[in-house]
Structure 1
Amino acid sequence: MIAAATAALALAINAPTRTPRLKNSIIAGEVYDLDSHRVLYARNSNVLMVPASTTKLLTEGTSLALLGPGFRWTTPVYRTGPIDAQGTLHGDLVLVASGDPNLSQRTQPDGTLAFENEDHAYDGSPDTKAVPGDPLAVLRELAAQVAKAGIKRIDGSVLVDASLFPDQGTESGTGVVVSPIVVNDNVVDITITPGSRPGDAASISVSPQTPYVSFVNRATTGAAKSDAT
């Protein structure tokens, strides 16, 4: 039974590696069962390779072990002053960033995370796609909760407390900043759409909409398969 399962695992792992595009590649890996202390699969397991994104497994495994599968981030919102009878907050509204990586609501209706293999962080790839969904959905929900609590107007400022940890600079693989507050994965999506005919103006859309990004659009639509200029 175990031998059959191990053989099936090897078949499932090896099958995608037999594509023509990988024929000159060196593929290495090992699957080790922590319960039985057995190697279930090995292929070039002694060959030194650049670990790349497989190092994420260490972060994910450590988080799962320390925080548990039921852990949930909370993003509290506080006020620094009183609310009068008209619903005006005399003070500031402060959102305390908790480092929630899914603050942009990537959860699909079935409970799974929306995923693009080459998502918007990989802007150098021609196959890059924006992650589906409204990146401000959670912030809109928080705003609705604030209004439900009786705050209709703010006589002060809306602040984000990002003091949980210092910004960590840019992530080496994508150039994205790692920070306590993460909106749209800390990316602004810029989508350029051609017109219906060559010579037509191209349109530009930005998500999320922000006054920090503006354009002078002189882009036009070229003929099919023409070079970009």
Structure 2
Amino acid sequence: MNHLLNLRLTLLLLLVCLTGFASAQPLAQRLQRLLGEPVLRQSEVGMAVYDLDADTLVFAHQAEKLYRPASVQKLVTTLTALTQLGTDCEVRTDVFADGAVDADGTLQGDLYVRGGFDSEFGDADMERLADCVARAGIRSIGGRLVGDVSMKDSLYYGEGWSWDDARFDFQPCLTPLVYRRGCVRVTVRPTARGEEPVVTVEPASDCYTVDNRAVSHVPGAGRLVVTRDWMYQSNALLIRGNATRRVEREVPLFAPEQYFLSVLADRLRARGIETGVTDLGRVPEGARRLGGTARPLTDLVRRALKKSDNLAAEAVFYRLAHSLHPERPATAADGAEVIGTAIRALGRNPEDYNVADGSGVSLYNYLSPDLLLAFLRSAYRDPQVFAALWDALPVAGVDGTLAHRMKASPAHRRVRAKTGTLTGVSSLAGYARTEDGRMLAFVIINQNVLRGARARAFQDKVARELVVKD
């Protein structure tokens, strides 16, 4: 009996020693060991880790290979913008009057609103625009209400975007005049069995129609679907299937600049200001600015990174593009050129990579972990840029797209990083503060992985090893 007890104690002591030995291994060895994880049998990974305090590369695995970055592309976009445009850059939406206001308060000409691609423009901002017009003494618009969307080209979607994602709110149309993210909120409430549910849409507007063919509490009607007729680029809101409980959906509209003008016209009429037809055009030389709204670019950066918001990232991307040739509509190629200049400044050849959009939605983006690491290292050396980035990145186990990850891990609150997800792609890139106080920059891109949860579990294991003491 004593022999058996001694054997158990010996095995327990051996296990403790082995566990201690494993945790005491250098970080590079621990990361190398993780490359034997089952998830990598049918997929691959590119990784790079850098000790920012020691200015030393700690670990690299296939770090120079090209991968689809998914939403860690947003790091490249936002860091280039914070560096090139400055942390104090603002995004404006302004109203202009082209003509005099007569004694009756009639504007003898057109009223213009010029968009600067403020993806956060909402109800309070729309009210401010309408107030600017009212304060100018305008009681009637004798001409047109004109939207100026000349900041960017007329393409609503990016190159390499999946066509069937147009139905989802994470892929709204891209336009410099965007209100409530180009979406309406559709609420469906069931009624008596077999009856139509009650459907309400906010805000009210004449730029969409509602086609409600759903029924309440009839299982045979199928799953409830709330969408729009996106196949034909129509703003007919379609409600189908079985309504069993209250459901809310954000539905992106086609031609959101027309939606913007429709709501602005409603807000003006609510102030007793008569409006005429709406149209698109450029603000003419000599038009008088009545006022507008201004939003810090850092607000867009924060949403792009914390929430992995595609619209915010594309707004930042097109602000970059516009800075290259402000005299003409910005294009995605312009944005890629500005980012290419940033890549060259890091000592790399931009022709070795491909930048197709600002959000990472495009399947044409190709970057390497090594390049992303260079962006993170460069940001760390610029106090203003790093402060804005640090504030905007999701915190492990706390907020953003990392709110539900690493809660019980040593990485909890010690990792701030951008996530990325596409079919077959999962990525994580950012910073880790180790238990002994060192700051690491890291990049992980899992490719050809069909179950994203397995890739995220692998990344969380890597994050744990990054923060624990050697």
TM-score band, normalised by shorter chain: 0.5 to 0.7
| Contact 1:184/1:208 (8 A) holds in 2 | no
> Cα distance, 1:46 vs. partner?
6.7
Please name the residue that 2:94 is paired with: 76
In the TM superposition, 1:40-189 aligns within 5 A as 49-104=67-122, 136-171=123-158, 172=161, 174-175=165-166, 176-186=172-182, 188-189=183-184
Stretch of structure 1 that moved more, 77-86 or 34-43: 34-43
Question: Which structure shows the higher helix fraction?
Answer: 2
In the TM superposition, 1:193-204 aligns within 5 A as 193-204=188-199
- DSSP 3-state at the match of 1:76: strand
> Cα distance, 1:223 vs. partner?
5.0
Cα 1:217–1:65, aligned 2, differ >3 Å: closer, same or farther?
Answer: same
Query: What amino acid is the match of 1:148?
Result: R
Please name the residue that 1:108 is paired with: none
Query: What amino acid is the match of 2:173?
Result: V
> Cα distance, 1:41 vs. partner?
7.5
Stretch of structure 1 that moved more, 95-104 or 168-177: 168-177
RMSD: 3.8
Cα 1:145–1:72, aligned 2, differ >3 Å: closer, same or farther?
Answer: same
| Contact 1:190/1:204 (8 A) holds in 2 | no
> Cα distance, 1:62 vs. partner?
0.7
- The superposition leaves residues 8-46 of structure 1 with CA deviations (integer Å, 9 ceiling, x where unpaired) of xx9xxx9xxxxxxxxx98665545466753447778757
User: Does residue 207 of structure 1 match 2:194?
Assistant: no
> Cα distance, 1:85 vs. partner?
2.5
| Contact 1:194/1:220 (8 A) holds in 2 | no
Cα 1:35–1:140, aligned 2, differ >3 Å: closer, same or farther?
Answer: farther
> Cα distance, 1:161 vs. partner?
1.1
| Contact 2:121/2:178 (8 A) holds in 1 | yes
Query: What amino acid is the match of 1:221?
Result: S
> Cα distance, 1:153 vs. partner?
1.9
- DSSP 3-state at the match of 1:63: helix
> Cα distance, 1:158 vs. partner?
0.9
- C-alpha distance in 2, partners of 1:153/1:69? 40
Cα 1:222–1:33, aligned 2, differ >3 Å: closer, same or farther?
Answer: farther
Query: What amino acid is the match of 2:77?
Result: T
> Cα distance, 1:76 vs. partner?
2.0
- DSSP 3-state at the match of 2:215: coil
| Contact 1:194/1:201 (8 A) holds in 2 | no
- C-alpha distance in 2, partners of 1:77/1:67? 23
> Cα distance, 1:59 vs. partner?
0.9
- C-alpha distance in 2, partners of 1:72/1:35? 33
- DSSP 3-state at the match of 1:215: strand
What TM-score do you get using the length of structure 2 for normalisation?
Answer: 0.33
- DSSP 3-state at the match of 2:87: coil
Alignment gaps of 5+ in structure 1:
1-6, 15-23, 105-135
- C-alpha distance in 2, partners of 1:203/1:78? 40
- C-alpha distance in 2, partners of 1:210/1:28? 48
Higher relative contact order (CA 8 A, sep 6+): 2
Alignment gaps of 5+ in structure 2:
1-26, 35-41, 167-171, 224-240, 242-470
> Cα distance, 1:142 vs. partner?
0.7
- DSSP 3-state at the match of 1:75: strand
Cα 1:65–1:194, aligned 2, differ >3 Å: closer, same or farther?
Answer: same
Greater than 6 Å deviation, 4+ residue runs: 24-27, 40-44
- C-alpha distance in 2, partners of 1:167/1:226? 39
Query: What amino acid is the match of 1:193?
Result: V
Higher alpha-carbon Rg: 2
> Cα distance, 1:48 vs. partner?
5.7
> Cα distance, 1:81 vs. partner?
0.7
